[in-house]
Copies of this chain bind each other. A is one copy, B any other.
Amino acid sequence: MDNENVLEEIRKHLEKNESRLTPQREAVIRVLINNDTGHLTAEDIFLQTKRYLPEIGLATVYRSLELLEKLNVVYRLDYGDGQSRYELTRANEEHYHHHLICVQCGAISEFNDDLLGDIEKQIAAESDFHITDHCLRFFGYCKNCREGRKKG
């Protein structure tokens, strides 16, 4: 599915929920489409949307992201550093999408794997807890930084 079709799907999804695909919201989505591995902060997105719409306000970016998150179009990530990051939600990916975060350079990479299916069943059985989502992050040193450390 190409980008224009993605946008068209999102437009329909918004309209189903009495919301419009305004130029501002479209700009936000385009930024996320063009940076789908970047895990952008609201500020990042704000600065990039200004290329399309110099008049856009930061509050509008936040409000757009809030709406799009509620409609499951974007996914909000939290690395515990005091700000949220955003990425497009892709169908089927949600449960198999985890992050590797380098504690030295901050680089974030991803891997997709159904690591937790069995674990969740076990927890449901043992803990009387009905799991609907999860968040799994690994911290450590990426290849680049490990090579740097060997030298230094």
Contact = CB atoms under 8 A, between A and B. Distances in A.
Contact of A141 (B76, B132, B140): B132
Interface stretch (A2-10, A37-45, A49-57, A118-126): A118-126
A90 interface: no
Contacts of A140: 129-133
Given A129-B140, A133-B138, 10 more contacts: A78-B79, A102-B129, A103-B133, A130-B141, A130-B146, A132-B141, A134-B138, A135-B135, A135-B139, A136-B136
Interface of A: 76, 78-80, 84, 100, 102-103, 109, 111, 115, 119-120, 123, 126-143, 146
